[in-house]
Amino acid sequence: MSKNSEEEKLERILKEGLDSLWKKEKSEHQIIKGVYYPSYIGSCLRKQYYIYTVGESVTSEELVIFMTGKGIHELVVKAFGEKVNVESIEAKINLEITNKIKLSGRVDIIIADLEGKKYLIEVKSASKIPDNPYESHVLQLHTYMQALNFNEGYLLYWNKRDGNIRVFKVIKNDEMMKKLYERIVMLDYYITINSPPPPESYQEGKKWECKKCPYLNICNPGPL
C-alpha cells in the first residue's frame, strides 16, 4: 500500500523532531581532537575518524535506534530507583590517557548501596542478548571502572524484541585496559595525520554496521 501525503507528513515531522532532539543532545558535547568518547571507542575506528574530521552525523535509522536506547535507559533508572538508592545517573567521567588525550563520557547508573555494595551499571538495549558481552561494551565499561576506581562493573542488556533482560558482571583486566589505550592512541594518530584508518567494521565482516553507517559513501569499503 502506498503512503498518502498525510502519512508521509507525520513520518517526516517525527524524524525531524528526533533530529532536533539529537542535535540538542549533541550540542552538550563538542567534537574536539584529543577528547574521545567511551561509548564510541569500541566501534569502527574509521567511523570515529570521520566523526572527528567530516563532522558527526547519523542516518534516520540510527537516530531511531539511539532514541529507543535513551528511552530504555530512563526506564531502567526509574525501575532501579523504585527499589534501591541510585547514587548517580549519567555521572560525568574523565580519564586521562596522555597529557593531550582523554576519554570523556557518562556512566549510566551507580547504585549507592545494595547490601553494602556500590554497583556501576551500563545499560545496553539490543535486538538479541549476546552469550557474552560485546567487546565494544566491555571496553566502554573499562573506561568507567578505571576513572571511578571500580574493580568490577555490570553490563545490563535489555532485549527490546522479546523483553528479556540479562546482566553480566565484568572484572577489570589489564588486557582490556591495554586494548582501550591502544585504540585511543591509534584513533588520535590517524586524526593527527588526517588519514583514515582501515575500514575496521568491513574487514571484520560486520557489514550490517556499514549498511547503516552515515559515512558509507565516503568510506566506500567494498561490496555489501
| List of residues contacting ligand SF4 (CB under 6 A) | 44, 46-47, 199-202, 209-210, 213, 215-216, 219, 221
Q: Cell 583514515 maps to which residue? A: 196
d(CA 147, CA 105): 10
Q: How far is the CB of 50 from ligand SF4 (least distance, A)?
A: 6
CA distances from 40 to 79, 134, 139, 163, 187 (A): 26, 13, 10, 26, 11
End-to-end CA distance of the chain: 28
Q: How far is the CB of 153 from ligand SF4 (least distance, A)?
A: 26
Name the residue nearer to ligand SF4 (CB basis): 54 or 75. Answer: 54
Q: How far is the CB of 125 from ligand SF4 (least distance, A)?
A: 20
d(CA 74, CA 123): 10
d(CA 174, CA 145): 12
CA distances from 49 to 45, 94, 206, 217 (A): 6, 20, 18, 14
Q: How far is the CB of 35 from ligand SF4 (least distance, A)?
A: 20
Dihedral sign for Cα atoms in the order 59, 30, 89, 16: negative
Name the residue nearer to ligand SF4 (CB basis): 53 or 104. Answer: 53
Name the residue nearer to ligand SF4 (CB basis): 121 or 184. Answer: 184
Name the residue nearer to ligand SF4 (CB basis): 153 or 214. Answer: 214
Name the residue nearer to ligand SF4 (CB basis): 62 or 87. Answer: 62
Q: How far is the CB of 71 from ligand SF4 (least distance, A)?
A: 25
